[in-house]
Amino acid sequence: MKNLFMSRWARALLLASFELAGCHTHHKTPGIVRIDFIEIDRDVRHFMSDVAHDVTQDGPSSWHKYFADTPAFFMVVNGQMAFANGSKATTGIQQVAKSIKQIELKWGDDLRLDPLAPDIAVVAAPYHEIQVWADGRRVEENGYFTGVVQYRDGRWQFRDCHWSEPVPSSPNQ
């Protein structure tokens, strides 16, 4: 009888500890994650707004402060590697700034954001850009932008990004 009583007591204690552990984890973690993701959403949207503002106001050289200067960074444009790493992006931006004197960048209203972790998120948005080149040409582009942003060194930066323009439809379509 004593073993039966202890067995029931042990099972009840074990079950109670599982329930308490489950309740604690279930109620605490989603609240913390939700708050972090709300903050990430707000901060990254602000970051994207700053990018468009600074590129429009200061020109293409302002991209330098938004691209991560790391070997992991890369940028692709229309399926072609534009910058293979942060170092090449720094050098490339200097060349672009010599060729394009002014850019007006606007993100579309459908900015999508997917926080993946407290320090990383995916962003995607349609864009409209007006470029004024050094030779006086004016070029307008519409397309779609995707990127991964990462919080490092006290700020958000693009870890990688991709710009694409719509493919012209063929006459047979």
Q: Tell me: the pLDDT tens digits for 48-75?
A: 999 999 999 999 999 999 999 999 999 9
pLDDT at 78 > cutoff 70: yes
pTM: 0.77
- The domains of the chain are located at 2-164
Residue predicted with more confidence, 170 or 56: 56
Sequence-distant (6+) residues with CB within 8 A of 101 are 59, 132, 133, 134
Residue 149 CA, distance from chain mean position? 3
Above pLDDT 70, what percent of the chain? Answer: 79
pLDDT in tens, 97-109: 999 999 999 999 9
pLDDT at 2 > cutoff 70: no
CATH architecture of 2-164: Roll (3.10)
